[in-house]
Amino acid sequence: MKGIKVAESRHKILDIESPMAIELRRIMIRLNRELDFDRKRCVLITSAERGEGKSLFALNFSLVLSSHMKKKILLVDGDMRRPVQHSAFDVPITPGLSDVLSGSVDKIKPINTYLDNLDFLPAGTMFDQPSHLLDTKKMETVFGQYKEDYDIIILDCPPVVPVSDTLLFNEVADGILYLVMAGRTPGVLSKRGIDILKGVGANIIGVVANNLAEVLPYFYGHKHYGYGRKK
């Protein structure tokens, strides 16, 4: 696949000096202590349900990592049910991850973004039952290839309560960041998501509280992220 260069002037997605970016850098620093980024790493991003900001976090976190780390980073849209990342970069959704997992193509060259060290792999062709594509051996082969080319992979996955896809992606992840919409997501639902992940032995390396500004308004005048060490 021919790389598509996204123009920075048209797509200034994140102000890296904004309060949000500062919080993301703090998460990056703390996360590096939990998960050694000097080695090849795949970080899975998920939440309990839809609407908790996991995809926006995955996007912004990838941008912050690529801006502050001299590493090759790949953002993968693994939410093959409700993919959104391709719209942020204004690129086609296909070909992408589902096409590789289905065997339609052997390997796809990810799309170049406006940041030299950040590439993007879209979700790919929409299938009626995407969970059927998530064969463990096939995923290990596919992600093994991308791990050879990239230092860090950020994998945006579906929420864990409505569907089981993320449990299968867990097989190729080194750690999981779990998003919670502060002040909105019921505690019992958040706990249900954690229990589901723990049930498959997932390595939950941290919980990210989204939307803290509405819960603790003295932080900043708009939405941002906070990071909690796992217990």
pLDDT of residue 19: 79
Q: Which domains are delineated in the chain? A: 37-228 (3.40.50.300)
Alpha carbons 109 and 112: distance in angstroms, whole number: 9
pLDDT of residue 229: 45
pLDDT of residue 59: 95
pTM for the whole structure: 0.85
Indicate left, alpha or beta for 211 from its phi (over 0: left) and psi (-120 to 50: alpha): left
Averaged confidence pLDDT in the chain: 84
**Spans in the chain with pLDDT lower than 70:** 1-13, 212-231
Alpha carbons 41 and 169: distance in angstroms, whole number: 14
- Per the DSSP assignment, residues forming a β-bridge with 77 are 156
Q: Are 28 and 68 in contact (CB under 8 A)?
A: yes
- CA angle at 219 for the pair 214 and 222, rounded to the nearest 5°: 50
pLDDT of residue 185: 82
Q: Are 19 and 222 in contact (CB under 8 A)?
A: yes
pLDDT tens, position by position, 173-197: 999 999 998 878 888 999 999 999 9
Give me the DSSP letters along 3-50: -----TTT-----TTSHHHHHHHHHHHHHHHHS-TTS-EEEEEEESST
Q: Which residue has the tokens 């959704």?
A: 93
Helix axes 54-68, 19-34, angle to 10 degrees: 80
CA distances from 150 to 36, 39, 72, 108, 118 (A): 15, 10, 5, 14, 9
pLDDT of residue 114: 82
Alpha carbons 46 and 93: distance in angstroms, whole number: 20
Phi (first) and psi of residue 132, to 5 degrees = -70, -15
Determine the longest span between alpha carbons in the chain, in angstroms. 51
pLDDT of residue 32: 78
